Copies of this chain bind each other. A is one copy, B any other.
Amino acid sequence: MSHSYRIVFDCPDQVGIVTRVGEIITQNGGWISQANHHSEEESNWFFSRIEVIADSLSLSRQQLDDALRPLAQELKMNLKVVDSARPKRVVLMVSKGTHCLADLLDRWKSKELFCDIVCVISNHDDMRGLTEFYGIDYHHVPIEKDNKQKGFDAVEKIVDDYHADTIVLARYMQIIPPALCEKYQYQVINIHHSFLPSFIGARPYHQAHRRGVKLIGATCHYVTQQLDEGPIIEQDVARVNHSDAVETLARLGKDVEKTVLARGLRAHLEDRVLVHGNNTVVFN
């Protein structure tokens, strides 16, 4: 992955948006290495993600941002300009299931995921060993049944102290309080162990078994105040059949969960996910 600036924006659609952005890039010598655009007809909304090779520009990230601002204002863009060399600061949250955590740590260690994993927070102490093996801080923050807010206040303080910008719920089995969801809007990523909107809520594999579905799935989505109803980033499924007990569904599901979470997180880390209403645009 070469060093680039990512220009990511969405705005009301109209003639000439790409060309006008392109002119600003070209005037500064910018070499576009990748570009994705999407027009949503219904809502007349335009989405774009453009990668410019950093070395081709005479500008810093901030200067490129400044150069684009007047146009952004004119076209009412939600615009961000991101430096691909600056890793996002990620907090992983986990309960007792190891598969997603072990998977993400190996992907991070082998440089498949470009980010800083600043710490792991868990309501149990089980994953301390593995986390610390990878040289990452581990915080055990119990969530008490009668005073959950106390625990989540501690979580929030930790996230703030690390200046984290992304929170990944890697099979964290507690419900995040609405205020925290709001504070980190579209920065909290969850993996739900069903093909949403099927089997919202608790024990989805039991629900799936009862309904007798022939495929099980997993969904990576941003967490919002409506449990399991946030914008979907990625989904996948695996085939099952009548001979698979609930435990087998859960085992087969783990493979889907970890793959889907890793794909969704990667898209987020590369600023490929744009949220509009309750939907996402995910540029390849």
Interface presence of A180 (CB below 8 A): no
Are B251 and A255 in touch, CB under 8 angstroms? no
Closest to A102 in B: B106
Q: How far is the CB of A68 from chain B (nearest CB, A)?
A: 14
By a CB distance below 8 angstroms, the chain B residues around A254 are 112
Closest to A251 in B: B112
Are B198 and A212 in touch, CB under 8 angstroms? no
Interface presence of A98 (CB below 8 A): yes
B-contact bits for A218-230, CB 8 A (1 contact / 0 none): 0000000000000
CB < 8 Å neighbour of A106 from B98, B215, B236: B98
Are B39 and A34 in touch, CB under 8 angstroms? yes
Rounded to whole angstroms, the CA-CA distance of A236 and B237 in the bound complex is: 9
Among A18-26, A82-90, A144-152, the stretch that binds chain B is: A18-26
By a CB distance below 8 angstroms, the chain B residues around A259 are 255, 259
By a CB distance below 8 angstroms, the chain B residues around A211 are 196-197, 232, 278
CB < 8 Å neighbour of A212 from B98, B102, B231: B231
Contact A214:B234 (CB < 8 A) given known A106-B103, A130-B133: yes
Interface presence of A281 (CB below 8 A): yes
Q: State the copy count for this chain.
A: 4
B-contact bits for A165-193, CB 8 A (1 contact / 0 none): 00000000000000000000000000000
Q: How large is the interface on A (under 10, 10 to 19, 20 to 34, 35 or more residues)?
A: 35 or more
By a CB distance below 8 angstroms, the chain B residues around A213 are 195-197, 232, 235
B-contact bits for A94-116, CB 8 A (1 contact / 0 none): 00011100110111011010000
Residues of A116-157 at the interface with B, using a CB-CB cut-off of 8 Å, are 129-130, 133
Among A59-67, A73-81, A239-247, the stretch that binds chain B is: A239-247
Are A215 and B236 in touch, CB under 8 angstroms? yes
Are B15 and A35 in touch, CB under 8 angstroms? no
Interface presence of A16 (CB below 8 A): yes
Are A282 and B241 in touch, CB under 8 angstroms? yes
Are B37 and A35 in touch, CB under 8 angstroms? yes
Name 6 extra pairs, CB < 8 A, besides A38-B242, A130-B133, A242-B279.
A18-B18, A42-B245, A212-B278, A214-B234, A215-B235, A237-B237
A-B contact pairs, 18 of them (CB 8 A): A15-B29, A19-B19, A20-B26, A22-B22, A34-B37, A41-B245, A99-B107, A99-B110, A130-B133, A133-B133, A196-B198, A197-B198, A197-B211, A212-B278, A239-B239, A242-B282, A243-B284, A259-B259
Report A's interface with B, CB cutoff 8 A: 15-16, 18-20, 22-23, 25-26, 29-42, 47, 56, 97-99, 102-103, 105-107, 109-110, 112, 129-130, 133, 195-199, 211-215, 217, 231-237, 239, 241-243, 245, 251, 254-255, 259, 262, 278-282, 284
